[in-house]
Amino acid sequence: MRLALSVYFGLLLVLTPAVPTIAAPLGVRTVLDNGAVLLVAERPGVPMVIMTLLVKTGAMADPDGRAGLANLTAELLTRGTKQHSAQALAEALDFLGASLNVDTDYETTTLSLTTLTKNLDAAFALLSDVLLSPTFPQEEFERKRKEIQGDLQSREENPGWVARKAFLQTLYPQHPFGRLVEGDPDTLAAITRADVVQFHQTYYRPNNAIIAFAGDISHAQAVKLLHTYFSNWHPADIPPLVWSAPQRHPEERITLDKKVTQANVLLGHEGIARSNKDYYAVLLMNYILGGGGFGSRLMDRVREELGLVYSINSSFSARKHPGPFIIGLQTRNATATQAVSEVLQLVRQFVEQGPSERELAAAKSYYINNFPLRLVSNRDVAALLPVIEFHELGLDYPDRYPALIAQVTREQVHAAAKTYLHPDRLLQVIVADLTQANLTPPPHSSNQPATTGDPQ
Amino acid sequence: MVLQRNPIVTWCVVVLTWALLLHVALLHAEEKPWPVTQDTLPNGLTVLILEDRRAPVVTVQVWYKVGARNERLGSTGISHLLEHLMFRGTAKYGPGEFSRLIQEKGGSHNAFTTDDHTVYFENIAAPHLDLLLDLEADRMANLILNQAAFEAEKKIVMEERRLRTADNPAADLWEQVSAAAYTAHPYGWPVIGWMHDLEAIELEDVKKYRETYYVPGNALLVIAGDVAADVVLAQVKASFGHIPPAPPVPAVRAQEPPQRGERRVFLRRPASLPIYMAAYHVPNWQSPDSFPLAVLSIILGGGRSARLQKTLVEEKALVLAADADYDRTAHDPPLFTLFLRIAPGKTWQEAETALFQEVEKLQTTPVTETELERAKNLVEAGFVYGQDSLFYRAMQLGLYAALGDWTMIQRVVPGIRAVTAAEVQRVARTYLREENRTVGILIPEGPPPARESLETGISDSAVH
C-alpha cells in the first residue's frame, strides 16, 4: 500500500510521546496514505492479537434483485485465493490455531482474525491473501450459494426467524433493511460469479476500510504488517448508495399460522439513526421501557408479574440509516393476544407519563458504570474500536461518554418517548398456531397497505 | 437459563463461552501459573480467588454442585426451577432488588443450570465486590419462597421450555437421543425437565431440595479479577462465615450399564430438513482415554479443516452443518456426539453412510502427524484465547474445582499434547462401535413452513 512511510513514521515517532491527544486511552489512530484508517490498542498481557478489518459496505449495497451479494462475496473470500485452495487455507489457519471469521451486516462487512502473537506474521499473510487475492472459483461459488440457500430453508423451522423476516419485509418494502443480509433463494439464484468479482473489486478498498488491532502488538508492528502485506492495496472511488428513505408504515397486524407451541411476537416501527441528536435520550428511554432486562417495564410486568414470557425486550437498531425499533416476545399460543395488549398498554402509558426520576437515575447509572466493563478484554476492544471510527465518535469517546449520558434530563427522555414511540401505529407480526391463539386469519387481502404520513 | 450437553445449542454469549470451554476443554499453566488462593471455611464453603489485575473489574461465581443428575423422575427440572427462584428476593433484598443494585452499578448477572451444576455469576467494577458477596451470601441463607412467586416462575420456565425445546427441532431430537442412550442414569432426562414434571412440582419440593443442596459444603465461591486474595478472604468470611454447616448431600448412585446393541430413535415433527445424530457412551476425565477422545472430536468436528466439514459439507455436499462434541469434564460418563443437518435434496441415509465411512477411516488408518499437530495447536491456542476473558478463567476454575481439584486445569494441555495417532485410532475403535451407539433421526412432517401458507391481514380494528 502507499503508506508514505517516511512522513508517516516521522510524524509518529516525533509526536507520539509528546502529544497525548494522539494516544487517547483506547488506542492510536492513523490515517494511511491509501485512505485506510488504522487503530491500534497496545494491550500486552496475553500473547495474542485480535484484528478487526471493517469494510464500510454491507448488504445495503446489494443491487435490486440480487439481495445476498455482499454476504456471498464475504463468505467466498476464504474459498480459494491465488496462492491457496480453500482446503489449504483452512488447514493453514487451523495449524496456526488462528481463527478468521467473516460477518456481513447491512452497512458493514467485518473480517476478524484471532492469532497467537508468535504466529502473527503467518496469520496476517493468510488474511491479506484472503482479502486481496480471492479467486472466487466457479465451483466454490455454486457450492456456497447452494449452502446459503439450504441454510435459509433450514431456518424456516425457527418461528423467531420467520417472524423477523415478515416484520422487516413489511416495514421496509422498498428498502434493503426489508431484505435479509443473506438474501433469499431467488435473489441468490440471480447472482453470478461476475457480480461477486465486481463487488469485491468495487468495495474492498483501503479508503473504504477501518483496520483495528488489539492485544500483544505495538503500533509500529501493526504499521509494518500493513506495509509488508497490503502494499498492493489501492484506493478507488466508492460509489455512493442511493436509497430513498423508507416510508412510515401504518398500523397493521400480520398473522402467520405455524404448528408451534409458542407464539413469536414482534411489534415495532421505524427507529432512529446513530447520528440522531436525541440518541442518548432514546438509549435511556429504551432501557427503561424494555432494553434494560430485569427492572425494565416490559420485563417487570409481562414476565415477573404475569409469567407470560421467558424473555421480552425492546431495541432500537441505530445504524447510519435509521434501523427498526422492535419489541420481541414469545408466549404460549393461548396468551399471545393478552401479551400484546399488555405491551400496548405499557408503551402507551410510558409515552403519556414518561419515566420516573428513579428509573432515569438507574438507567444513567447503569450506562455510565457499565461502559468500562465493556472494555475489559482484547476482544471487547477489537470489536468497539472500528465501530467508534465508523460512527465518527472519536477515540476520546470513552472519556466523553459519562457526560453524554449524565446530561440527559427526564423531560428529554419523556420527549424522546413521545417522538420516537408510536403505539398508535405499531406493526405487529404474530407467528403462532392461530387456532390455539384464537387468531383466525382474515380472508386473504391485499398486501399493499396504503401508506400514510410523511417519509422520514 | 439451561445448558445441555448439546452440540447445537447456541443461544447466547454464555452458552458459546460454555461450549468453547467444554468442546475445547483445555488449559495449562506452564508460562504463568494461575495465582489462585484456595481456602475452605469452617462451614464447608470452598473459596477460590484468582488475582488478575489487567482490568479494574471482578467476576463472582457461586457454583452449587447440583443439577439434573441429582434429580428424580417426577420432579425433573427442579434444579433449574430453583435457579429461577433464587432471584425472587429475601427479607433484606426484596423482589427485584438483586438486579437493580447490580445494574445501577453497571454490573451484569445471570445464572445457568447443567446436568452437574447450578451456577450464579456477576461481573462488576472491582470496588463493588462487597455488594456481590453480600447478595450471594444473603440468598444462599435467606431466600424467601412464596406461592405466588413460585407459580409465576413455573409459568416462565414452561415458556423457556417451549422456546428452547418444543419449537426447536434439533433440541427436541437431542432430548430424545439422550433419553434413549441413558436407561438408568439421570443424564437421560432434560435439564429443563419434562413438561408434566414442571407442572407437578410443588413449592414444598423446591424448599426441601434447596435445604438439601444449597448448603455451604456443597458450594464453591469463585472470585476473579482486580483483587487482593487476603483482603477478599476476610470479606468472604464476614459475608458467608455465619451460614451454618449442613449434612453432606446425598450421593448419586445411578450408573449406566454398558450398551449392548444399537438403539434408533425417530422423531417425526414439523421441521425444515432432516437432522441426524449419533451418540456413543464414552468415559470422562477420570479415564486416560479422555484426552485421545478430545483430540478425536477436534479431528472430526473442530476448526475449519475438520474431517466432517471437509468431506460431508464441502466435498460431498450432503449436509449443511456437521459437528462432533465431547465434554471430558462431565461428572459422570457422557456421550460423544456426531451431529448432521441434512442438506436439501439429500437423505439422512446418504449422510449416515458417508459419516460412518469417516468413522471407519479413523478406525483403520492412523491420522497423519500433521493433522494431529493441527488439532493439538487448535486446543492450545484456544487455551490462550480463553485467558483474554476474566469470566472464562473463572469458569474454568469453578468447573475443575467442582470436579474436585482446580489444578487439573494445568494438566489438560500437557495431556492433549501427549496424545499419539495410535491412541486416537484405538479410542475410535473402542468407543465408536455400532453396539455402543444411539442414533436419532428427525424426519420433517406435518404442515409446510409458514412462508408457504402466509396469510396477511390488514385491519385497523383487530389490532387491539
Predicted confidence at residue B12, as pLDDT, reads 31
Site from B388, B393, B416 to mutate, A interface, most A CB atoms within 10 angstroms: B388
| Rounded-to-integer distance, Cα B166 and Cα A259, Å | 11
Predicted confidence at residue B103, as pLDDT, reads 95
B122 touches B132 (CB < 8 A): yes
Residue B245 falls inside a structural domain = no
Residue A437 falls inside a structural domain = no
Do B235 and B284 lie in one domain? The reply is: no
What value does the mean pLDDT take over residues A262-269? Answer: 97
Angle between helices B421-431 and B290-301 (to 10 degrees): 90
Do A219 and A180 lie in one domain? The reply is: yes
CB contacts < 8 A (A, B): 238
Do B395 and B428 lie in one domain? The reply is: yes
Do A193 and A317 lie in one domain? The reply is: no
Q: Give the SS3 label for residue A247.
A: coil
B41 touches B237 (CB < 8 A): yes
Do A223 and A256 lie in one domain? The reply is: no
Closest approach of A168 to chain B, Cα-based (Å): 14
> Residue A79 maps to which CATH number?
3.30.830.10
Site from A310, A331, A338, A439 to mutate, B interface, most B CB atoms within 10 angstroms: A310
pLDDT for B173 beyond 90 = yes
Torsion, CA B343, CA B349, CA B354, CA B359, rounded to 10: 120
Predicted confidence at residue B64, as pLDDT, reads 98
Q: Enumerate residues 6+ apart whose C-beta is below 8 A from A247.
A: A174, A451, A453, A455
pLDDT in tens, B182-215: 999 999 999 999 999 999 999 999 999 999 999 9
| Rounded-to-integer distance, Cα B63 and Cα B283, Å | 23
Do A204 and A275 lie in one domain? The reply is: no
Predicted confidence at residue A245, as pLDDT, reads 79
pLDDT for A279 beyond 90 = yes
Which of A116, A143, A258 is facing B384, going by the closest CB pair? A116
Cell numbers of A230, please? 497490503
Q: Does B378 touch chain A (CB under 8 A)?
A: yes
- Provide the number of structural domains found in chain A: 2
Q: Does B132 touch chain A (CB under 8 A)?
A: no
Predicted confidence at residue B407, as pLDDT, reads 95
Percent of chain A's residues with pLDDT above 90: 86
Predicted confidence at residue A14, as pLDDT, reads 29
| Distance from the first to the final alpha carbon of chain A | 41
CA distances from B238 to B41, B128, B130, B133, B235 (A): 11, 15, 10, 9, 5
pLDDT for B22 beyond 60 = no
Percent of chain B's residues with pLDDT above 90: 88
Q: For residue B345, give the chain A residue with the closest CA.
A: A150
Do B315 and B221 lie in one domain? The reply is: no
| Rounded-to-integer distance, Cα A283 and Cα B140, Å | 35
Nearest to A314 by CA among A268, A272, A251, A249: A268
Domain residues for the domain of B137 are: 34-240
Predicted confidence at residue A442, as pLDDT, reads 55
Q: Cα-atom radius of gyration of chain B, to the nearest Å?
A: 23
Q: Would you call A307 and B151 a contact, using CB atoms and an 8 Å cutoff?
A: yes
pLDDT-based confidence at residue B447 (cuts at 50, 70, 90): low
Predicted confidence at residue B15, as pLDDT, reads 33
Residue B267 falls inside a structural domain = yes
Closest approach of A413 to chain B, Cα-based (Å): 18
pLDDT for A21 beyond 90 = no
Do B281 and B160 lie in one domain? The reply is: no
Whole-structure pTM value: 0.90
Q: Which residues of B are catalytic?
A: 83
Q: For residue B463, give the chain A residue with the closest CA.
A: A253
pLDDT for B380 beyond 90 = yes
CA distances from B283 to B258, B332, B335, B430 (A): 11, 8, 8, 11
Q: Would you call A370 and B106 a contact, using CB atoms and an 8 Å cutoff?
A: yes
Predicted confidence at residue B411, as pLDDT, reads 93
Mean pLDDT of chain B: 90
Q: For residue B52, give the chain A residue with the closest CA.
A: A45
Name the domain boundary from A179, A194, A229: A229
Furthest CA-CA distance within chain B = 71
Cell numbers of B191, please? 435439564
pLDDT-based confidence at residue A441 (cuts at 50, 70, 90): low
What value does the mean pLDDT take over residues A242-252? Answer: 84
What value does the mean pLDDT take over residues B79-108? Answer: 96
Closest approach of A154 to chain B, Cα-based (Å): 5
Q: Which helix (H) or strand (E) holds B423?
A: helix B421-431
Lowest mean pLDDT among A265-274, A334-343, B6-15: B6-15
Q: 185-204 in B: which are within 8 Å (CB) of A?
A: none
pLDDT for A67 beyond 80 = yes
* Chain B residues with CB-CB distance to A86 below 8 A: 314
Q: Would you call A147 and B343 a contact, using CB atoms and an 8 Å cutoff?
A: yes
Which of B163, B380, B450 is facing A310, going by the closest CB pair? B163
Residue B451 falls inside a structural domain = no
What value does the mean pLDDT take over residues A34-38? Answer: 96
Predicted confidence at residue A243, as pLDDT, reads 82
Do A264 and A413 lie in one domain? The reply is: yes
Q: 100-129 in B: which are within 8 Å (CB) of A?
A: 100, 103-108, 123-125
Q: Would you call A447 and B456 a contact, using CB atoms and an 8 Å cutoff?
A: yes
pLDDT-based confidence at residue B252 (cuts at 50, 70, 90): very high
pLDDT in tens, B25-63: 333 334 456 899 999 999 999 999 999 998 999 999 999
Q: Enumerate residues 6+ apart whose C-beta is below 8 A from A441.
A: A255, A257, A434, B455, B457
pLDDT-based confidence at residue A26 (cuts at 50, 70, 90): confident
pLDDT in tens, A286-312: 999 999 998 899 999 999 999 999 999
Pairing of strands B335-342, A322-332: unpaired
Cell 464453603, residue located: B45
What value does the mean pLDDT take over residues A47-75? Answer: 97
What value does the mean pLDDT take over residues A147-156? Answer: 96
Nearest to A47 by CA among B302, B387, B73, B358: B387
Domain residues for the domain of A199 are: 5-229
CA distances from A219 to A12, A210, A222, B237, B390 (A): 9, 15, 5, 45, 25
pLDDT for A446 beyond 80 = no
Do B305 and B409 lie in one domain? The reply is: yes
Site from A118, A299, A300, A376 to mutate, B interface, most B CB atoms within 10 angstroms: A376
Q: 285-344 in B: which are within 8 Å (CB) of A?
A: 303-305, 309-310, 313-314, 317, 320, 341, 343-344
Predicted confidence at residue A159, as pLDDT, reads 96
pLDDT-based confidence at residue A246 (cuts at 50, 70, 90): confident
> Residue B432 maps to which CATH number?
3.30.830.10
B382 touches A116 (CB < 8 A): no
What value does the mean pLDDT take over residues B234-246? Answer: 97
Which of B56, B272, B388 is facing A157, going by the closest CB pair? B272
Do A188 and A275 lie in one domain? The reply is: no
Cell numbers of B385, please? 484465547
Residue A244 falls inside a structural domain = no
| Rounded-to-integer distance, Cα A108 and Cα A374, Å | 21
Do B219 and B348 lie in one domain? The reply is: no
Predicted confidence at residue A11, as pLDDT, reads 29
Which of A114, A256, A377 is facing B450, going by the closest CB pair? A256
- Provide the number of structural domains found in chain B: 2
Q: 19-58 in B: which are within 8 Å (CB) of A?
A: 54-57
pLDDT for A444 beyond 70 = no
- Choice between B271 and A244, residue whose per-residue pLDDT is larger: B271
Predicted confidence at residue B3, as pLDDT, reads 62
Q: Would you call B463 and A426 a contact, using CB atoms and an 8 Å cutoff?
A: yes
Q: Would you call B381 and A377 a contact, using CB atoms and an 8 Å cutoff?
A: no
Residue A61 falls inside a structural domain = yes
pLDDT for B358 beyond 80 = yes
Residues in chain A: 456
Please state the ipTM of this predicted complex: 0.87
